[in-house]
Structure 1
């Protein structure tokens, strides 16, 4: 079931439709976006709420893509380790 959840980002209230079981994640996400936007606004390098939002979105997207790239690299390492483990097991079993 979906419920309306009120979040506050950069001193503005937003009502967002959200599945009941995802409410906590939505609130955490809103808090994260709020903190990022406040950091950018505080730096003084970006003026205007729209621009702050766009820069925050770009920064968050960059963070996400970086984590995804790291996860892909880790997945590749895990696959290689699994293949090595299988080869070692075969060698040990074959020498018995």
Structure 2
């Protein structure tokens, strides 16, 4: 296993040094860019004041997006499974007709 490295991230005009495995660096930097963009959007809206409040709102927005996406994926999977079951049923019926 590779040694952790220290990555410098810039989020909302502040610098953060974070340790992570080299293979996770790209994901960490992508997450930091997403967080930075989300926090800047919230700050620029002018509705939320204070870095701490902006960070909490960003965390809530990102968590909500993640959970909503997770629920949508579950619903999509259920719909796909229902379609597959229906197709299998129809194939079984078609095969029964040819076996007689």
TM-score, normalization by structure 2: 0.91
Partner residue in 2 for 1:65: 67
Structure 1 runs of 4+ with >2 Å offset: none
Distance in 1, Cα, partners of 2:21 & 2:73? 27
> What secondary structure is seen at the aligned counterpart in 2 of 1:83?
helix
Distance in 2, Cα, partners of 1:85 & 1:5? 50
> What secondary structure is seen at the aligned counterpart in 1 of 2:9?
strand
Distance in 2, Cα, partners of 1:93 & 1:20? 54
Structure 2, unpaired ranges of 5+? none
Displacement of 1:50 after TM fit?
A: 0.4
Alignment of 1:48 onto 2:50: yes
Q: CA-atom RMSD, angstroms? A: 0.9
* Greater Rg by CA: 2
Displacement of 1:68 after TM fit?
A: 0.5
2:16 pairs with one of 6, 14, 35: 14
Distance in 1, Cα, partners of 2:50 & 2:12? 11
Count of matched residue pairs: 96
Partner residue in 2 for 1:95: 97
Displacement of 1:15 after TM fit?
A: 1.3
Displacement of 1:11 after TM fit?
A: 0.8
TM-score, normalization by structure 1: 0.94
